[in-house]
Amino acid sequence: MSGVPELLVLRLLTDREMYGYEIVKAVRLVTGEAIGLGEGVIYPVLHWLEESGAVKAKRKSVNGRERVYYFVTTKGKKRLEHLSNEWQRVSGGVNSALGDPGGATGNA
């Protein structure tokens, strides 16, 4: 499951800029609550993505609240593409093993 939060966050941020709470709610929504991140844990992921240049943050004052909005960068889009391909490859492999474990072993 390593890299899943990163993948989900980047995917969601390609649609529009969001702040942490919105991202957590969106993750819950798009995954049908299959993936429940500890909500506070989203911030180290976001900060790490920012540090690596995949996302950028900007502060906005909304209704007297200070929000930190994140949006994905060109580098982040490339990273998302790479992670998506990797995820498809891994999940395809796992699905294939679950569907036909003998065949998968026999092919190895």
Partner 1 sequence: MRESKFEALKLELLQGGVAPVYIARTLLELEEHYTDLEQDALADGLSREEAERSALAALGSERHIAAAVLARPELRAWSVRYPRFAYCVRSATTIGLIPGMPVMFCIEHRPELTRWAAAIMAAATFIGGILALLDWMIVPV
**Beta carbon of residue 103, minimum distance to partner 1 (angstroms, whole number):** 38
Contact window for partner 1 (CB under 8 A) among 9-17, 63-71, 81-89, 97-105: 63-71
Contact string (CB under 8 A) for partner 1, positions 34-53, x = contact = ----xxxx-xxx-xx--xx-
Written in H, E and C, the secondary structure of 55-100 is EEEEEEEECCEEEEEEEECHHHHHHHHHHHHHHHHHHHHHHHHHHC
The answer to the question of residue 69 lying near partner 1 (CB under 8 A) is no
The answer to the question of residue 33 lying near partner 1 (CB under 8 A) is no
Kindly state the tokens that stand for 102: 């003998």
The answer to the question of residue 19 lying near partner 1 (CB under 8 A) is yes
| Beta carbons within 10 angstroms of residue 84's beta carbon | 13
**Beta carbon of residue 69, minimum distance to partner 1 (angstroms, whole number):** 11
Q: Which amino acid is at 15?
A: D
Query: CA 52, CA 50: separation in Å to the nearest integer?
Result: 5
> Given the rule CB under 8 A, which residues bind partner 1?
19-21, 24, 38-41, 43-45, 47-48, 51-52, 57, 65-68
